[in-house]
Amino acid sequence: MSPEYVVTFGRQAMETMMIVSAPMLLVALGVGLSVSLLQAITQINEATLSFLPKLIAVSFTLVTIGPWMLSLLTDYIARTLTSLPQAIAGG
């Protein structure tokens, strides 16, 4: 197993992780920002108020984008497992 293969494998793993996690993180960021803005405008200082909207939005995002995320992860795992014998053999 060459150092180039290890670096490529790590880079692909990081790219896949960022692509898969980005929709959930962006939705949580957007909902949290809008709830915080609403709290600042109305001067309601309740820390637990932003939890439920974020939970609902992230759950909805997971339900709608979940199949795409699963197919992306499945393709990555399949590529990794099929290239493993070649990497071990040094080809």
pLDDT tens track for 15-37: 999 999 999 999 999 999 999 89
- pLDDT confidence tier of residue 91, bands split at 50, 70 and 90: low
Assigned token pair, 17: 């992780």
Alpha-carbon torsion angle 40, 59, 56, 16, nearest 10: 10
Of all residues in the chain, what percent carry a pLDDT higher than 90? 58
Assigned token pair, 14: 């990081």
Rounded to whole angstroms, how far apart are CA atoms 18 and 84? Answer: 22
Assigned token pair, 10: 């790590």
